[in-house]
Chains A and B, each alone.
Chain A
């Protein structure tokens, strides 16, 4: 007995010593991650491989809820207690904390392959730093329940169909099939920005200052409010909650209660898994208007923070993920749209995907070319989240009748001016 105890004590002591020694030697990297799908797990598997090749580096992944990335991470970073790196979506808001990877990476490789999205992480036009990469490119746009269209005997509107034409078709399908909701859009300022830009909204003035509200923007918002009031849009999604909280309508679409669902490319896995072969669905992208047929780009990015004690280790790890083969493997396993231009040019094969998913991803890839430069600029603007939230707040107030759409737009203008003054242009 005593022998056993002493043997176990010895093993435990040796383990503690080994752990202590390795901990003291390792470049510990704390990584905060939140994702819709398996992104955190796939990243961890790539990190594990990197650790084997670089025994000095040890990555600790903290998987958290998306709300923690939005609300807790900024406070942690401001207080100097943030992680070494994280998967973030609010590039503009957090850009002041990002670690510049330029001294540690091949800048030409990065500029060639991530040129379109690198600027999202920069603090302004004069900033040429490399602060991380988009591990995925997401695009907002619509899905339709194709089975409902077939059941209703209504032709699916064509590629150039406008929002009005889609609304008309969706209403007819809903009426013919008894489905409660013709259309729905996620409750998000990011989601509604694409349709506004397609309607001709400029978001910025000629000098590049944010204005948010102009005539085409107000026009689309007015239309959207009316659609919520007359039942074309599922009112539950925007009016069913207060503040600026996010709300999606995926469950209504999955339950076949919705004809046309405006969301984004990140829903593909979820829809495929939940719908299975219950009905046919497909990606139709963004309806058109005078400003084009644009959705909004987006996605999450892997970034390091300058408060890290191991800047070189963090930069090398991010650079490892950014290498073409590793990036392609990540995209293939997570079934995302690549932001790496070299990977995007190749005919990427997605592992273990159903024909539905493969078709949907192909559909989303085709939408990239339709994205407006204004949409890219808006996504890259550092205070865009403020403007998204203002849009949600004011448009919802107009939907529920707290103020008219004109009052809501006037308030939105004032809010933008005040917020930009508080946060700095």
Chain B
């Protein structure tokens, strides 16, 4: 076996030696990177370039050669509003509804989810009975497919669903939860928190377990109250992990699509239509297929996501350096 490996290595060594001789030690690194760079170029960089080109072109044609150059018209169309606070006055009112829905969703979902994840992580970090079992229970929804999550909650919340059956059994008037704009939005947030909370709880739990035990012991010797210990020890030491969790949840929140789309289809009306759904429907599900407009909206979204990613990278780097 060793002889075979050696033989293969000897064969590979010949062109490598030749390449190194020709290119020098520094440039040979690019030869090793080349396969990965080609794949990255084809599957990541090229689509980004194409997206930018599409955003500057019009008509419903797919092939670039059939499309006309329209400059920044698509961006202007997206931005044109008589009053930006009232989506009905915008040329692309659905885009602005999706923006506002996404902003509300991200604010509420991330806020509640990170808060609940923290509380859950602290509880699961304590000495409670069946701790392992509860950790699994909270993590279990993370393993489910988004479509499964959506269908489960749809069955529970629909007109003749489990919740209404329960309410009926207790003499309460059943309610069509998914036909009411506000309730559909609230349940979308709930569903999203239920599906993802376990992941963030796990990260925070790891952060909590990394805090040295002797800091708490010292505080206990000084007769510090539990809340004071939480405020003065747990929170500051957990803050770097919290920020990472917050940014990850923010990015994931902005990208929300699959589970809510399968849950409500973006409805009722456009009450739960978020920015990714707007892009998908504008570019692929609607007629005519406005690829340019969808590409322009996705570039705006990418700018937001790049901003959030840079903040995350900066925070993570500070944490490592600190």
Contacts and interface: CB of A to CB of B under 8 A. Distances in A.
Contacts of B93: 411
24 contacts: A236-B176, A240-B179, A240-B267, A241-B265, A241-B266, A242-B264, A242-B265, A243-B265, A243-B266, A243-B270, A243-B273, A243-B277, A243-B281, A243-B285, A245-B265, A383-B287, A383-B288, A397-B270, A400-B181, A402-B181, A402-B269, A402-B271, A414-B91, A419-B287
Given A71-B285, A422-B60, A236 B273 contact: no
Nearest to B280: A243
Contacts of B270: 242-243, 397, 402
Given A385-B287, A419-B288, A423-B288, A242 B272 contact: yes
B286 A423 contact: no
A212 to B, nearest CB: 14
Question: Which 10 A/B pairs are nearest by Cβ-Cβ distance?
Answer: A242-B266, A242-B267, A78-B62, A400-B269, A423-B288, A241-B265, A400-B268, A242-B265, A239-B268, A402-B269
A411 B94 CA distance: 11
A134 interface: no
A401 interface: yes
B290 interface: yes
User: Interface residues of A: mostly helix, strand, loop or mixed?
Assistant: helix
B284 interface: yes
A115 interface: no
Interface in A251-301: none
Interface string A392-425: 0100110111110001000100100011001110
Interface string A223-250: 0000000000001100111111100000
Interface string A34-78: 000000000000000000000000000000000000010011001
A322 to B, nearest CB: 28
Interface string B150-162: 0000000001000
Give the contact-size bracket for chain B: 35 or more
Nearest to A401: B181
A389 interface: yes
Contacts of B63: 78-79
Given A239-B267, A243-B266, A400-B271, A422 B58 contact: yes
A71 B62 contact: no
A93 interface: yes
A386 B286 CA distance: 8
Interface residues of A, number: 36
Interface string B281-322: 100111111100000000000000000000000000000000
B59 interface: yes
Contact of A389 (B268, B277, B287): B287
Interface of A: 71, 74-75, 78-79, 90, 93, 235-236, 239-245, 383, 385-386, 389, 393, 396-397, 399-403, 407, 411, 414, 418-419, 422-424
Contacts of A393: 94
B153 to A, nearest CB: 14
Nearest to A423: B288
Say whether chain B's binding surface is mostly helix, strand, loop, or mixed: loop
B61 interface: yes
Contacts of B286: 244, 389
Contacts of A241: 264-268
B59 A422 contact: yes
A397 B272 CA distance: 12
Contacts of A75: 62, 284
B178 interface: yes
Nearest to B180: A400
Contacts of A90: 287
Contacts of A422: 58-60, 288, 290
B60 A236 contact: no
A32 B263 CA distance: 30
Given A386-B288, A422-B60, A422-B290, 18 more contacts: A74-B289, A239-B268, A239-B269, A241-B267, A242-B264, A242-B270, A242-B277, A244-B285, A386-B287, A399-B268, A400-B181, A401-B269, A402-B181, A407-B88, A419-B287, A419-B288, A422-B59, A424-B59
A354 B30 CA distance: 74
A307 to B, nearest CB: 13
Interface string B201-232: 00000000000000000000000000000000
Contacts of A93: 287
Residue among B179, B266, B269, B287 facing the most chain A CB atoms (10 A cut-off): B287
A23 B269 CA distance: 51
A91 to B, nearest CB: 13
Q: Most chain-B Cβ atoms within 10 A of its Cβ — which of A385, A397, A399? A: A397
Contacts of A402: 97, 181, 269-271
B159 A242 contact: no
A258 to B, nearest CB: 13
Contacts of A74: 289
Given A78-B62, A400-B181, A411-B93, A242 B290 contact: no
Contacts of A397: 269-270
A230 B264 CA distance: 22
A383 B181 CA distance: 31
Contacts of A418: 91
Most buried by A among B62, B93, B268: B268
Nearest to A384: B287
